A and B are shown apart, each in its own frame.
Chain A
Amino acid sequence: MERIPILKMGRALLITIQVDMHDQMAIALEEDLTTRIAQTGAKGVLIDISSLEIVDSFIGRMLDNIAAVSRVLDAETVVVGMRPAVAITLVELGLTLQGVKTALNVERGFELISRRLAEIETVVVEIGAEDERSGD
């Protein structure tokens, strides 16, 4: 069966959906992604749907699911490159993807994730510094 590739870029995962997704593919993607997040300890997931022209309620819900699962595994999902027609369709279907962050293109989506990664790093450094101080 066709599978959608999941690319690792630093501490984030990049998924570009280049074909029209059918339901089986969506389910497989959800499973693969969950495994990969757990394996790699990724903190961000970038889903590029700029080639996706057709969405239905199932795909919409799957995006929501992916976001929810990723959140549980401490990774932030950003959906990027949604086409206007797709956005209108999802809104008409009542799927506003409340738990998902969005960005206009991959570049901006990556900025969002980098900012989050930077925040995490800072926290780590600060705690590290505090540890040192208390060690003195």
Chain B
Amino acid sequence: MAQADIGQTIAKRRAEILKDWGHQLRDGGALSSGRLKEAELDTQVREFLDLFVQAVSTNEADTARKALRQNVAEVSRARAIQGFTPTETATFIFSLKQPLFDALTQEFGKDSAALIQGLLAVTEILDGLGLHSMETFQKSREEVIIRQQKEIAELSTPVVKLWDGILALPLIGTLDSERTQVVMENLLQSIVEHGADYAIIDITGVPTVDTLVAQHLLKTVAAARLMGADCIISGIRPQIAQTMVHLGVELNVVSKANLADALGAALRATGRTVATIKSASGGSALSKA
């Protein structure tokens, strides 16, 4: 039996197969999560089956198959983004097997050799598409993860201006080499933009400081110095200070207990001071006006 025969069989029993497949998908819970509308699923199912028939029946099988794979990729990508599980995504393809097998059995029931051949051919194509579907699904998820990583990296490294010529870099989270790179670039760029003399690196939010993190910090400090800005490190927590000493980590830079002290030191170094004014007696001096 040629593949064209399979194509004809499917085309002939199209309505029946579509109904069966639809049932299979609904029983499998394709719609239960509410992420996919019934009409949407119907369109996907119909498009896929039409492309499938073309792929097995036309002479230009290559272009048709390419279109079919493209269709599978699109459906899988959409499901990955909508948050479907891998099983739910793969079921879209694999649940077509049963209806197709039924249709083939009814058509070639008497001719067992042809039936086996037909089943094998259909299985091969569907399995291939299933794998392709999984691959696309996985790839889409990875893209999402990479994008989120980038967003996190950018979000978590703001450089804030505390005063004319004084910048603060509040670090939160673990410092790996990739983040250090982003932090360093942001800081150096801000130093140029603001014409800063002092940069305060606050590590209150850094959970652990091992030799590697210390090295990353030192690199950042050295790069800032090359640009002509001095660095102050602040917010080293007591436990971290102990670990650092035990590990033999030495940060040969000015360090202050907290951000306030560091700001004070930077202000003094730039010839400024903070003074209390007497008139602020009682009540909030801050007004929203």
> Footprint of B on A, CB under 8 Å?
79-80, 82-84, 86-88, 90-92, 96-97, 102-105, 108-109
Contact A80 B225 (CB under 8 A): no
Bound CA span A96–B195, Å: 21
B interface residue count range (under 10 / 10 to 19 / 20 to 34 / 35 or more): 10 to 19
A91 CB → nearest B CB, Å: 5
Chain A residues with CB below 8 A from B191, complex form: 84, 104
Stretch of B24-32, B48-56, B123-131, B226-234 lying at the A interface: B226-234
Q: How far is the CA of A83 from the CA of B222 in the complex (A)?
A: 14
**Which residue of chain A has the shortest Cβ distance to B191 in the bound complex?**
A104
Tell me if B184 counts as interface (CB < 8 A to partner A). yes
B219 at the binding interface (Cβ < 8 Å):
yes
- In the complex where A80-B228, A82-B228, A104-B229 touch, is A96 in contact with B192 (Cβ < 8 A)? no
Q: Cα distance A47–B49 when bound, in Å?
A: 72
In the complex, B263 has a CB within 8 A of chain A: no
Between-chain CB contacts (< 8 Å), 20 pairs: A79-B226, A80-B228, A84-B185, A84-B189, A84-B191, A84-B223, A87-B188, A87-B227, A88-B184, A96-B222, A96-B226, A102-B227, A102-B228, A104-B191, A104-B196, A104-B229, A105-B195, A108-B197, A108-B228, A109-B228
Q: Contact between B228 and A88 (Cβ–Cβ < 8 Å)? A: no
A88 with B223: CB separation less than 8 A: yes
The answer to whether A90 and B228 touch across the interface, beta carbons within 8 angstroms, is no
Instruction: List chain B positions with a Cβ less than 8 A from chain A.
Output: 181, 184-185, 188-189, 191-192, 195-197, 219, 222-229
In the complex the two chains form, is A91's CB within 8 Å of B222's CB?
A: yes
Give A61 Cβ to nearest chain B Cβ, in Å: 14
| Given A87-B224, A92-B219, A108-B197, 20 further pairs, Cβ under 8 A | A79-B226, A82-B226, A82-B228, A84-B185, A84-B188, A84-B189, A84-B227, A87-B226, A87-B227, A88-B181, A88-B188, A90-B223, A91-B219, A91-B226, A96-B226, A97-B226, A102-B226, A103-B228, A104-B228, A108-B228
Q: Tell me how far the C-beta of A87 lies from the nearest C-beta in chain B, rounded to whole angstroms.
A: 4
Complex Cα–Cα for A109 and B224 (A)? 15
The residue in A82, A84, A92, A105 that gathers the most chain B C-beta atoms within 10 A of its C-beta is A84
